[in-house]
Structure 1
């Protein structure tokens, strides 16, 4: 089922419910009302225990420049650094209200 497309960094939370503060993306062309669409190669930056995050499962039918997009159904991970790095789930909490994708 189609879900809202992720656009703003603060719309993603790590496993400790801390929102991301920045997003590094190769997409600068495809925009929604709230900003550029997030894609599977984006890297997220978190304050606090998690430092960076990436996406593990993304949309399969909606592509931007050949790269899958990120929506509310996508699965990501935030990395907590340590002697063994500890992955924590990254979840889309806020999506663009007008754009849906699969």
Structure 2
């Protein structure tokens, strides 16, 4: 028996440029104001953010709910961090909107 697997990359790599680093620093500062530390990390996988990043635009991926088991039967979300992460997102958007006016 023989098995042949073929394929290709369908997204560019998400390489954090200066715009993404500045956006992360802003989010990091806001998280600290809420009393917690937002940590930078790199993981496997891909998102539509890969396309945006390739255009040199700022991208923060992973501000949503925390959990485990993505796309598996045991997938779950941890409820306790949701309010703090929601507050961070709201305040980050407010901060960006204030700069745009």
- TM-score w.r.t. length of structure 1: 0.25
Greater relative contact order (CA < 8 Å, ≥ 6 in sequence):
1
Structure with the higher fraction of residues in strand conformation: 1
Question: Which structure: larger Rg?
Answer: 2
